[in-house]
Amino acid sequence: LPVLAIVGRPNVGKSALVNRIIGRREAVVEDTPGVTRDRVNYKAEWNNRHFTIVDTGGWEPDAKGIDASVAAQAEIAIDLADAVLFVVDATVGPTSTDEHVVRMLRATKKPVILVANKVDDVHQESDAAALWSLGLGQPWPSSAVHGRGVADLLDHVLTVLPEISTVAKEEVGGPRRVAILGRPNVGKSSLLNKTAGEERVVVNDLAGTTRDPVDEQIELGGKFWRFVDTAGIRRRVALAQGADFYATLRTSAALEKAEVAVVIFDVSQPLSVQDLKIVDLVLESGRALVLAFNKWDLLDDERRDLLEREIDKDLGHVAWAPRVNISAKTGRHMEKLVPALELALESWDTRIPTGKFNALLAELTQEHPHPLRGGKQPRILFGTQASSRPPTFVLFTTGFLDPQYRRFITRRLREIFGFDGSPIQVNMRVRE
């Protein structure tokens, strides 16, 4: 889906606007200083067009950190969104922070829409008009809280937002898109340098004036691959506050653009909460997954035993993901990465013919019928694969299936078809 990013200073009304657009009270309440939101991606729809909203404002910096945090928002939006909504508080007028961000936004070719928020009634329209001075074109007056102007704003958004993501457009026959993920220092840029077969300069570009390409195409195993958001890996931005939040934001946005994720772990360190959170983000995104255990050269026997136990304990739920044990430094087993990516993508693309799927369902229900509930037995009437990428199945049933029974079906599907490297989903439609 195309990605619309929302950027702006704290308290200008970003989450109110997100709420208004998605029509739910899901993005967190405003005016709660110090709140860090976990959720950054929201599915939105307007006039039958679907898109993803990335709310970059989930971190509430203190006064000192505002410039850096809004700059970080803008940078991520410029790199990873298809269009940017820049929200300004029209009752306050442009601040120096706003002007700083405007310089970054004007350097991008991506569409930028200026929202003059908190224009609650017609008498405040002149506040909005004053924002022409920012040089971002027409300010769109809106009141996120009251809904005023938001419909016009969204109509305009749809005219500048590409129908499908600019990256997804290359989907047919183009290079497959890979996100390299992992917490700092696990070896992401080392892996990139090793796969590309050359050392590259790490670009430090906070100002965003000369933007290097966000993605890189690399030929591996006779095929081109697109590594998404390598700019985010190569550009090491030191942020005094909110570094974790911006890392999560960047990871979520990169996943939107990717088809398969390689999550890198540093085997010389215990698996951390942050590592597991990244795996969770991949699962939430529905992308294919490969696990890469890096710095294998540093492993001694003792740490190796510990690692295997940590993996059993914390990564048991993704035991289906192909695993490569590598060293980006020595090059150990680096050649196994491409086959792992190919396997994961093949699973992700899989379509099981309906006839075959129903024959299998018949076998499974014979082998292990659903337990009786209140004297009745929920039956599966029919099943079909609704979509691939990732494989998603729908079962039409005469009653709710126990979660346990659904897990049984999911497990057997994996045993039979593999789906190595891809999440799969089994949904239910009850026909009374």
Rounded least distance, CB 347 to ligand GDP, Å: 26
> Rule CB under 6 A: which of 24-53 touch ligand GDP?
none
- Binding test (CB under 6 A) with ligand GDP, winner from 32, 36, 138, 185: 185
Is residue 184 a contact residue for ligand GDP (CB under 6 A)? yes
Exposure class string for 292-308: b at 16+ Cβ within 10 A, else e: bbbbbeebeeeeeeebe
Is 133 among the residues that bind ligand GDP (CB under 6 A)?
Answer: no
355 exposure class (CB count in 10 Å sphere: 0-12, 13-18, 19+): exposed
Instruction: Using the rule CB under 6 A, give the single segment among 166-174, 291-299, 358-366, 405-413 that binds ligand GDP.
Output: 291-299
Which is closer to ligand GDP, CB of 197 or CB of 355? 197
Q: Which stretch binds ligand GDP (CB under 6 A): 212-220, 293-301, 352-360, 411-419?
A: 293-301
Q: Candidates 11-19, 214-222, 326-334, 405-413: pick the segment binding ligand GDP (CB under 6 A).
A: 326-334
- Comparison of 274 and 358: residue with beta carbon closer to ligand GDP: 274
Torsion of CA 248, 251, 257, 263, to 10 degrees: -150
Closer residue to ligand GDP in complex, CB, 41/327: 327
Instruction: Determine, following the binding rule CB under 6 A, whether residue 232 of this chain makes contact with ligand GDP.
Output: no
Give min distance, CB of 6 to ligand GDP, in A. 27
CB of residue 190 vs ligand GDP: minimum separation in angstroms?
Answer: 3
Q: Is the Cβ of residue 161 or residue 181 nearer to ligand GDP in the bound state?
A: 181
Q: Whole-number minimum distance, CB 184 to ligand GDP, in Å?
A: 5
**Strand extents, DSSP E, 182-327:** 216-220, 223-228, 260-266, 288-294, 323-325
Q: Which of 57, 61, 111, 182 binds ligand GDP (CB under 6 A)?
A: 182
Q: Which of 14, 148, 188, 250 binds ligand GDP (CB under 6 A)?
A: 188
Alpha carbon distance 85, 78 (integer Å): 11
**Smallest distance, Å, CB 210 to ligand GDP?**
21
Distance, CA of 125 to CA of 111 (rounded, Å): 23
| Nearest Cα to Cα of residue 286 among 331, 252, 313, 244 | 252
* Whether 66 contacts 9, CB under 8 Å: yes
Does the footprint of ligand GDP cover residue 381 (CB under 6 A)? no
Closest CA to 387 of 289, 318, 290, 286: 286
Q: Report the sign of the C-alpha dihedral through residues 238, 242, 244, 247, in that order.
A: negative
- Of 185-193, 239-247, 339-347, 381-389, the window that binds ligand GDP (rule: CB under 6 A) is 185-193
424 token code pair: 């799969």
Contact with ligand GDP (CB under 6 A) among 327, 347, 397, 422 = 327
The Cα-based distances of 394 to 104, 320, 358, 381, 406 in angstroms read 46, 21, 11, 11, 11
Dihedral sign for Cα 219, 220, 223, 224, please.
negative
CB-nearer residue toward ligand GDP: 282 or 395 = 282
187 is a site residue for ligand GDP (CB under 6 A):
yes
Give the one residue of 148, 287, 295, 370 binding ligand GDP; rule: CB under 6 A: 295
Rounded-to-integer distance, Cα 392 and Cα 363, Å:
20
- Please report how close the Cβ of residue 283 comes to ligand GDP at its closest, in angstroms: 21
Residue 228 touching ligand GDP (CB under 6 A)? no
Out of 104, 328, 361, 424, the residue judged to bind ligand GDP by CB under 6 A:
328
Dihedral sign, Cα of residue 384, residue 359, residue 287, residue 311: positive
Residue closest to 422 by CA, chosen among 339, 370, 349: 349
Q: Check the CA dihedral 22-23-28-30 and report its sign.
A: positive
Residue 396 to residue 194: CA distance in whole angstroms: 48
Q: Which is nearer to ligand GDP, 203 or 319 (CB)?
A: 203
Shortest separation between residue 250's beta carbon and ligand GDP, angstroms: 12
Can you tell me which of 52, 69, 189, 252 binds ligand GDP, judged by CB under 6 A? 189
- Which residue's CB is nearer to ligand GDP, number 55 or number 266? 266
Does residue 186 bind ligand GDP (CB under 6 A)? yes
Q: What is the dihedral of CA 4, 78, 180, 312, to 10 degrees?
A: -50
Q: Interface with ligand GDP includes 298 (CB under 6 A)?
A: yes
Q: Is 25 helix (H, G, I), strand (E, B) or coil?
A: coil
| Calpha distance 286→346 (Å, rounded) | 14
Q: How far is the CB of 274 from ligand GDP (least distance, A)?
A: 12
Binding site residues, ligand GDP, CB under 6 A:
182, 184-190, 233, 294-295, 297-298, 327-329
